[in-house]
Amino acid sequence: MARTKGSKNRTTLIRELAQAGVQVDVDKMSYEELSQHSKQTAPIVEHIEALVERPVIDIQEARAIIDDTRRRFDIMVRYYSCDDTETLVPERIQEFLRSKVYLADTREQANESARKALEKLHAHLLTLWAHKQITGPNDARNIGDRIRKMEKWVTRLEKLGRKDDALKQRARIEELRNTPIQASASPWNN
């Protein structure tokens, strides 16, 4: 008879019987007989170590690390977008930061967890930027690219005879040209 889903294979049954100290001739036994002997033996209980309380960093230190990381979150979000910083930082990243920092054994582990949270937010913001959900950083290259695309759109609107829309678009282009250019270095590493 074939074994059922979730049951143990013959080799596992033989090994468990050997560990339990059962002396039987397993070569002449069928799978059903091995299974019956296995059920009759007591389960193997491995040595379980006593639970030891792990030291965690001081709550005040953890709060300081979390506050500093959230400050860096705000800088990063402002670098990639002018939108509200609270809505662009997902709760999963906030929860990762809190859980890992509060339960860290040492300050170094807490700082490493904060760095990983920043990396997660950076990847999230780059994904949003790639899907055109945020505008991206206001560096010279990005602003130049956006202006070129907007000027092409103005030309297209003028060819279609939509003069009012073209004027609105030109106003947006002027506003974008007056946008202060950010440095291309990552400001959140400070």
Domain that holds residue 148: 140-182
Name the residue among 97, 95, 106, 100 with its Cα closest to residue 57: 106
How confident is the model over 63-77, as a mean pLDDT?
Answer: 91
Q: With cut-offs at 50, 70 and 90, classify the pLDDT of residue 86.
A: low
Q: Which pLDDT tens digit goes with each residue over 14-23?
A: 888 787 777 7
Counting the structural domains of the chain, the total is: 3
Assigned domain for 53 exists: no
69 & 101 share domain: yes
Assigned domain for 52 exists: no
Give the tokens for residue 88: 């662009």
Q: With cut-offs at 50, 70 and 90, classify the pLDDT of residue 30.
A: confident
Q: With cut-offs at 50, 70 and 90, classify the pLDDT of residue 40.
A: low
pLDDT at 188: 61
Name the residue among 41, 40, 39 with its Cα closest to residue 21: 41
63 & 109 share domain: yes
Residue given tokens 């582990």 in the structure block: 109
Assigned domain for 23 exists: yes
- Please state, for a pLDDT cut of 90, what percent of the chain lies above it: 23
